[in-house]
Chain A
Amino acid sequence: MLSRVANSIYWMSRYIERAENVARFVDVNLQMMLDLPSGLTEQWEPLVIITGDDKPFAERYRGATRENVIQFLTFDTKNPNSILSSLRAARENARTVREAVSPEMWEQINTCYLMVNAAAARGYDLEDTDRFFSEIKKASLLFDGLADATMLHDEGWHFYRMGRFIERADKTSRLLDVKYFILLPAASDVGTALDDIQWAAVLRSASAFEMYRQRHGHIEPDRILDFLLLDLEFPRSINYCLTHAGLSLHAVSGAPAGTFSNSAEQHLGRLQAELAYTPVEQIIAEGLHEFLDGLQTKLNMIDHGIFESFFALRPLDGRRGLAHREGQ
């Protein structure tokens, strides 16, 4: 497979997963704000902080109101990580590899982009947010289903899976950070009904509430963290994402599991081992936010390793430069 094509498939997949997860972020916050006791003001700034785009937001918006934050995260084309920008980037990547994906996939991504683009032109409708964000989630899941059911499960598909799972791992970690940044009214509120409601909202945003119930029953923060960080069977948990990104990575390189033949496999293997041998209690004791921060940095190293190992053009004769790297 052409390096350029593999790169585009990988980013097409990451951008779709990104759009889906931004929809999940907004959704979790909307849910939590609905349950706020009266007298407390809504908190929307944490959402901008966890996406890492708080600076450009502050430069162009006056105040983290609900309208501003949703506009910024959903329709703002100047924000490269907004839902609309992500879908546009996914579609442009898909366009450059249209011959490598199935026509059904192309049509799906195209239709989804046109839907969000039309919504952006109409303007944001507060009454309709629930339906709108679930449309985006569904569109992304349908795309994933089409990839699974209509694409050759060859190298291209493995790059698709790598993009999907690495992006998802990153975003699940950020989803957990939403809860960290949403401050409870007082420290004594930890473990209260309000705290439970907020954790339940986090689970719902990851489509994880019922599956968590089956696994652990009661809402307990450390169990929830265990579930979303370390569970090996829940497909949005970080450990699950890393395992499956790793399977695809090894399928492409041919290196046996437990070994590495490139820097992506090396970084990914180390991170997997760390998750496998760290109990959730220790993560909490050492600081969840710090742990998630470190995790995001390591995911970036894996991403960089994939770029170096498969996409970077290595000139034979020095006449050509390196490929332009598509940023996040």
Chain B
Amino acid sequence: MKFHGYSCDGFYDEMFEPDGGARPGATLLKQKIESLADGELLERQQAAERALLQGGITFNVYGDGAATERIFPFDVIPRIIEAKEWERLENGLKQRVYALNLFLDDIYHQQKILKDKIIPAEIVRSARSFREQCVGLNPPRGIWCHITGTDLVRDRDGQVYVLEDNLRCPSGVSYVLENRRVMKRTFPQVFEASRVRPVDEYPSRLLDMLQSLADPALDSPSVAVLTPGIYNSAYFEHSFLAQQMGVELVEGRDLIVADGRVLMRTTKGFERVDVLYRRIDDDFLDPQVFRPDSLLGVPGLIEAYKNGRVALANAPGTGIADDKCIYAYVPKMIRYYLGEDPVIPNVPTYICAEEGDFGYVITHLEQLVVKAVNESGGYGMLVGPHSTSAERADFVERIHKHPRNYIAQPTLGLSRVPVIVDGSFSGRHVDLRPYILCGKDIYVLPGGLTRVALKRGSLVVNSSQGGGSKDTWVLTD
């Protein structure tokens, strides 16, 4: 298959220059793809899909009564990031995660940043994700957010922005590792001489980081992944990470708190757990502290945590930094705590709770993307240019009612990549979610999850909304 006739349509293309030539890092890839025999590329694409299906890397789609299993759509053309650009992104992500951790520690202790009026106190006070229960908590090493998945996007002019920070339980890293494994297995030719940085050290890095959170007096701390169970949509990832790290995957019902310690039930009695990589939201962690009706959590867990008998990653309470209003203040945080300029800028953001912004948003809905501050997964969103007047009227009403619940951003012309559609190449919009681990030091997995909006023209990349993914190649120099 040839790229002949492929058009960038005025968007920034991750693989091609505006004049149609391959970008320097993508030249070799383009040559290799074009040198394949007729039909070979499609065969590789099918082989990759088969491998994902046989590996059971699927999610359930309900409808017409019976559940059917689908793979998370995968496209074999990799997305390439050149070494120099990655170096800058990596620095920017480290800077951001460092500042966000300082913010979290501050906001649950002295709240200096509010007293110095860098962030309006009202914004924090009114945030649903601010956890009173976490005030005064001292997580191990003073780190709150150990695993972050930050969403990056690129606009028409090539500028990369941070779109949002995910500091609660970011998911998707298992797809990064599985996509790479499937690519190597089904399409080994393209790797030769491509100088792609490996991703397989992530599980060891994650395990090291988790172990570093345990009481230093312990010789071999016991780590477990805490999952809500098999019906959670990210269950595959929970089990995958536990398997790759060689640790237990536990559910709330496997755990018990006795004599202040967290124990798991085994065939030989109770065994201690020192670190929990929890993939359960704060609300459900401990019915004694958060939602009393939670059946997923472990009664007494937070008490044990406060007493330093168990470490949790991420710490409870990190959701406050995920709030889309707080997001707007991250560049200010970076300046406030670090005295540095942000390496990666935010998307300009209008906060509907602020008077000046409110008026602008209401009158410019057609050009803006409006987001509910407490939603994720592409829900509660209005994409102005693609909206109907009825949808806009509905949002005007909602914003009037609860201005604090909404922010707005200009509609970006997200960058695109070629994907295989019906036997030829076609451009689709993408984002990038790198994964950042924060323990003794900060580590950024080279690359991350490239999500693709598979519907023509769509800007929503979430898997729940018809998104797919690609292998992401960070090149070495």
Residues of A within 8 A of B (CB): 1-6, 91-92, 95-96, 98-100, 103, 106-107, 110-111, 114, 155, 159, 252, 310-311, 313-317, 319-320, 323
> For the complex, what is the distance from the CA of A310 to the CA of B256, rounded to whole Å?
17
Task: Tell whether A106 pairs with B250 under 8 Å between CB atoms, given A95-B230, A252-B267.
Answer: no
Q: Which of chain B's residues have a CB closer than 8 A to the CB of A100? A: 243
> For the complex, what is the distance from the CA of A310 to the CA of B248, rounded to whole Å?
17
Binding-face segment, B1-9, B51-59, B86-94 = B51-59
10 contacts between A and B (CB under 8 A): A2-B250, A2-B267, A3-B254, A95-B56, A95-B230, A99-B249, A110-B54, A311-B267, A316-B258, A323-B253
Task: Tell whether A155 pairs with B267 under 8 Å between CB atoms, given A3-B254, A92-B230.
Answer: yes
Does the CB pair A98–B243 fall under 8 Å? yes
Task: Tell whether A106 pairs with B56 under 8 Å between CB atoms, given A2-B264, A4-B251.
Answer: yes
> For the complex, what is the distance from the CA of A114 to the CA of B71, rounded to whole Å?
13
Sorted nearest first, the 9 A-B pairs with minimum C-beta distance are A99-B243, A99-B242, A110-B56, A98-B239, A310-B267, A99-B249, A3-B265, A6-B267, A99-B239
> For the complex, what is the distance from the CA of A91 to the CA of B120, rounded to whole Å?
52
Determine if B130 is an interface residue (Cβ-Cβ < 8 Å).
no
Does the CB pair B56–A3 fall under 8 Å? no
Encoded as 1 (CB less than 8 Å from any A CB) or 0, chain B from 234 to 275 comes to 010001101100011111011010100000111110000000
Does the CB pair A4–B254 fall under 8 Å? yes
Does the CB pair B253–A313 fall under 8 Å? yes
Q: How many chain B residues touch the partner (CB < 8 A)?
A: 25
Point out the residue from A6, A92, A114, A316 that lies within 8 Å of B256, measured CB to CB: A316
Q: Which of chain B's residues have a CB closer than 8 A to the CB of A106? A: 55-56
Q: Which of chain B's residues have a CB closer than 8 A to the CB of A103? A: 55, 243
Does the CB pair B53–A114 fall under 8 Å? yes
Point out the residue from A99, A107, A319 that lies within 8 Å of B56, measured CB to CB: A107
> For the complex, what is the distance from the CA of A92 to the CA of B235, rounded to whole Å?
12
Does the CB pair A319–B299 fall under 8 Å? yes
Q: Which of chain A's residues have a CB closer than 8 A to the CB of B258? A: 316-317
Task: Tell whether A1 pairs with B230 under 8 Å between CB atoms, given A99-B242, A114-B53.
Answer: no
> For the complex, what is the distance from the CA of A140 to the CA of B182, rounded to whole Å?
25
Task: Tell whether A320 pairs with B243 under 8 Å between CB atoms, given A92-B230, A110-B55, A110-B56.
Answer: no
Q: Which residue of B lies closest to A156 (CB)?
A: B267
Q: Which of chain A's residues have a CB closer than 8 A to the CB of B240? A: 98-99
Task: Tell whether A2 pairs with B248 under 8 Å between CB atoms, given A98-B240, A114-B54.
Answer: yes
Point out the residue from B54, B235, B242, B251 that lies within 8 Å of A107, measured CB to CB: B54
> For the complex, what is the distance from the CA of A310 to the CA of B267, rounded to whole Å?
5
Q: Which of chain B's residues have a CB closer than 8 A to the CB of A3? A: 254, 265-267
Q: Which of chain B's residues have a CB closer than 8 A to the CB of A99? A: 239-240, 242-243, 247-249
